Every structure is written in structure tokens, then in C-alpha cells.
Structure 1
Amino acid sequence: MSLAINTTSALISNLKIIAFDADDTLWVNEPNYIDVEKKIHTILEAHIDAETISKHFYKTQITNLKLFGYGAKGYILSMIETAIELTNGEVTGKEIQQIIDTGKQLLDFPIELLDGVRDVLDSLAHRYELMILTKGDLFDQESKIARSGLGSYFHHMEIVSEKDERTYQRIIKRYGLQNDEFMMVGNSLRSDILPVVHIGAKAVYVPYQITWGHEKVNEEQLIGKSFVQLGSLRDLLSFIPDESTQ
């Protein structure tokens, strides 16, 4: 992997808006989905083994993204479809209800903030315009933002169906920015980093311990791409220091 690291001056030069991804950047998300999938494996264990379920479920999710988009509701529908297909329709109504009830846990799980989130937002909110820029179901993402208690830090909130170059360009234009006046901070190379780098905006990659397969990229895609990689969100304070405290 080849990562070109920006200097601090280049990182903050002309910067006006800092956008943060939400799931697994500000709070824990993917482990909740993994936990629910394991519970559903148990529900279906009389019919099919867990490995087969996982492989088929992933393919079904990806196929259904263009219909259901990202988020808990599409996840539940794709799991029901997987159960029906893998059991040749023999899954019972009771088992489907159990899948639905288990999947509903994804719509109201307690929000666990990641380390340093409040400190970072406290430091940056009075110096820059902050934005939450997340993809997924509108109701689901709005609910998580509300449950997080972080809403007051953000000047702007954008919930989109996909994070690609066209989406970022549209948002940058909407807020009257030049590309280099916008920074995206997130845990997904595919969604938060590469599209932003490709349009000439600034990107900060903060890896999370678990990455959904769909968000992974090949190392070759990173060659020659210039972005900052940090060990944690808290490290962002070292790259964007508060001069008033120095």
C-alpha cells in the first residue's frame, strides 16, 4: 500500500467545512450488525450452516443495494430473502418473524461513541463548519444521530444514498465551496476517501477494527493517492491544532 501523507499546512489550508462519516467513525456500528447476523445464524441452524448463510447473504445484500440501499431495513429484507432461498421455501413463518424481531435491534441499539469523538468535535466546532455526511436509510441515520447526542456540534447534516464522486461534487457545489475547501473524515476507503481524493478535495482516513466487505478496496487502488491516515480520530487534533490554546 502506498499512502502519500499530506503536511499539516496542506491539510488545513483554505479549509472551510470538515465532514465526518458517522457509522464506525463517530460511533460503533458494524459490530452490531455482526452480532445480529450471528443470532440469525442460530435461528436458521436447523436448516443451513452459518458459513453458507453468510456467503449467500452477502451476495444478496450487494444485489439488493440498488433496490433497498444501505441500512438496517435493507439488511433485514435481504436476510429474509436469503433464508427463503437457502431453505427452498421451507423456513417457517415463526422463523421469519424471529429474523424480523432480531433485525429490529439494529434500529434502536444504544450508541457507543468512539474514543476522542467529543474532544475532537469540541475543538473543531468553533473553528470550522462541521458536517455529518453519511449514507443509508434517512429514518435510520437520523435516529442514530439523535441517539448519539452529537447533533449540536454540526452545522450541516447530509444523508445520501451513495458516496461517490458525483455526490461529493454536488454537496461541495451546494455549499458554495471549492474542492480544496472541503475535507472528509471517515473509516471507509471506498466511500469516504477515494472519491474525495479523486475530485481534489481533502481526505482523512481513520480505520476501524472491522470493515464490511463491500467497503474494502484493493491496495493497487491506493497507489499515488494523497490522503492522511490516522490511528484514531483523536489524532486529528494533532493535524488541526487549536492555535488559541498554544
Structure 2
Amino acid sequence: MAQPLEAKVLVFDADDTLWENNVVFERVIDDFLSWIDHPTLDRAEIRAMLDDIERANAVAHGYGSKVFLRSLGECLERLRERPATDVERRDIEELAAALIAHRVELMPGVADTLDALAGRYELLLLTKGEREEQQRKLDACGLLHHFGAAHIVPEKDVETYRWLAREHGFDPAAGWMIGNSPKSDIRPARAAGMNAVFIPNANTWVLEHDELDPADPGVIELATFGELLPLFRPGVSR
């Protein structure tokens, strides 16, 4: 069996790594595209327009359900070439009601894996988004007792990871970032000197996609969360 990896601190993403998240947004988008029923543009063209709007709004306003609703409304107005009516805005809010009602559902193996790792490593949680919304999910997930700290940040860029290492006093080379997003989890963590474990999620938001270097020895790709245990085996001396 391969030797366990050298590590002192394991940093975990939350949405779409510890629990499903974006799949709910995708269902709302699918309903929105059906509701629009545009006479000339097909679903792919409207989705491309919505992606552009979301990209701009993420830069200007951040992330979360409120910004998502804003993007849907702006997409509607661009398609209709007029302001949205009160009825249309209520219809969009009804389409997106599932975002508020959605329960936090953990990925398979998450609870047991964190339970095993927590006794051996310092575990940190790093998530981005609207603070109140992310805190609600953190409070509901039942996992916070595993983590030495949980941070909600507006963006996960290189400076965020450098700040995290300074804040918790660890050498970035001794830290591993575990997440599903090449853009927010893997590439900036690597640029800050950390190693990374990439666990792809088929429902990862399109704006979080990015290219990874397949030859980068500091990135390991896994198929499931539970596969972390053979990499970071608790109870093995270093």
C-alpha cells in the first residue's frame, strides 16, 4: 500500500464537496428555460446568455441565491427587451423557492471520513458566498464539530489561501485543499503553495470550471470523498 501523504492541515470546500448544492440551481434553471419559452432562441442560447449575466453579477455582487434571482430577472428582461413585471418577478421567485427549502444532504462517506481524519489532522472549512446563506448551511450540516474553524469568504483566490495559512500558522506546503472546483479550490490553492485533492462533481457550476495541469504532482484527483482515507490514513506516524 502506498505511503500516506505528508500533511498537517486539511482544508475542505463545502458546497458540492461536502454536500450537493449546485444541482438545485440547475433544476431551477431548467424550469426557468421551460418557463421562458422564447420564440426564436433555443435553450442552449438562453443558457449561454444567463451564464454571461451570472459571470458579471458574480464579480459585481458575489454569490448566492439572491444574486442568482437577480441574474434570472436580468436574463428575462434582456429576452423580453423590457422591465420585468411584478407577476414575472413573483413567478421567478416561485421557480427558485426550492433554493430556500433545500435541505443539506451530505455526499456519501463524508461524515465517516471526516470523523476518521479529525483525530489526526487539523481540519478547516473554507466556503465562499453570501454569509447568512452559507452560515445556514453550515449550521444545518452537522459537521462543524470536526473543524477547528469554518471561514465564509466573498471569494476564494490566491490571497485567500495565503491569508488562511497565515491565520492558522501553517506552512502552505503542509496544507491540502480538498474541493470540486478547479477555479476556486484547486488552482488558487496551488498558486498559494498548497497541495490539492480534486474531487469532481458532475453538477459543478459552469463558472467554476477551469483547466488543470494533468502533470502537476501537487494535485491528486479522486472519484469519491471516501477515497481520502487511503491517502491520509489516521494513526500512521510521520
Residue type at the aligned position of 2:125: I
2-side partners of 1:74 and 1:236: how far apart?
33
Residue type at the aligned position of 2:55: I
The answer as to 2:27 corresponding to 1:35 is yes
Residue type at the aligned position of 1:32: V
2-side partners of 1:43 and 1:96: how far apart?
12
The answer as to 2:221 corresponding to 1:229 is yes
1-side partners of 2:200 and 2:67: how far apart?
25
For structure 1, which segment, 73-82 or 192-201, has the greater mean C-alpha deviation from structure 2 after superposition?
Answer: 192-201
Aligned match of 1:103? 96
1-side partners of 2:210 and 2:133: how far apart?
26
2-side partners of 1:122 and 1:42: how far apart?
42
SS at match of 2:96: helix
Question: C-alpha displacement at 1:191, in angstroms?
Answer: 1.2
**Preserved contact between residue 107 and residue 140 of structure 1 (Cα < 8 Å):** no
2-side partners of 1:143 and 1:78: how far apart?
22
The answer as to 2:82 corresponding to 1:82 is no
Aligned match of 1:4? none
**Preserved contact between residue 25 and residue 206 of structure 1 (Cα < 8 Å):** yes
The answer as to 2:227 corresponding to 1:203 is no
**Preserved contact between residue 73 and residue 84 of structure 2 (Cα < 8 Å):** no
Aligned match of 2:172? 179
**Preserved contact between residue 44 and residue 95 of structure 1 (Cα < 8 Å):** no
The answer as to 2:50 corresponding to 1:26 is no
Question: C-alpha displacement at 1:39, in angstroms?
Answer: 1.7
**Preserved contact between residue 13 and residue 179 of structure 2 (Cα < 8 Å):** yes
Residue type at the aligned position of 1:45: D
1-side partners of 2:196 and 2:110: how far apart?
17
Question: Kindly tell me: are residues 197 and 93 of structure 1, through their superposed partners in 2, closer, same or farther at Cα, counting changes over 3 Å?
Answer: same
The answer as to 2:150 corresponding to 1:152 is no
Aligned match of 1:73? 66
SS at match of 2:51: helix
Q: State, as a whole percentage, how many aligned pairs show the same letter.
A: 32
Residue type at the aligned position of 1:102: L
2-side partners of 1:40 and 1:26: how far apart?
27
Q: What are the within-5 Å matches in structure 2 for residues 29-68 of structure 1?
A: 29-45=21-37, 49-68=42-61
TM-score, length-normalised on structure 2?
0.90
Aligned match of 1:243? 235
Question: C-alpha displacement at 1:233, in angstroms?
Answer: 0.6
The answer as to 2:189 corresponding to 1:193 is no
2-side partners of 1:85 and 1:110: how far apart?
32
1-side partners of 2:137 and 2:207: how far apart?
21
**Preserved contact between residue 182 and residue 211 of structure 2 (Cα < 8 Å):** no
TM-score, length-normalised on structure 1?
0.88
SS at match of 2:63: coil
Question: C-alpha displacement at 1:194, in angstroms?
Answer: 1.4
Aligned match of 1:94? 87
**Preserved contact between residue 115 and residue 146 of structure 2 (Cα < 8 Å):** yes
Which blocks of at least 5 consecutive residues in structure 2 are unaligned?
Answer: none
**Preserved contact between residue 190 and residue 217 of structure 1 (Cα < 8 Å):** yes
2-side partners of 1:89 and 1:143: how far apart?
35
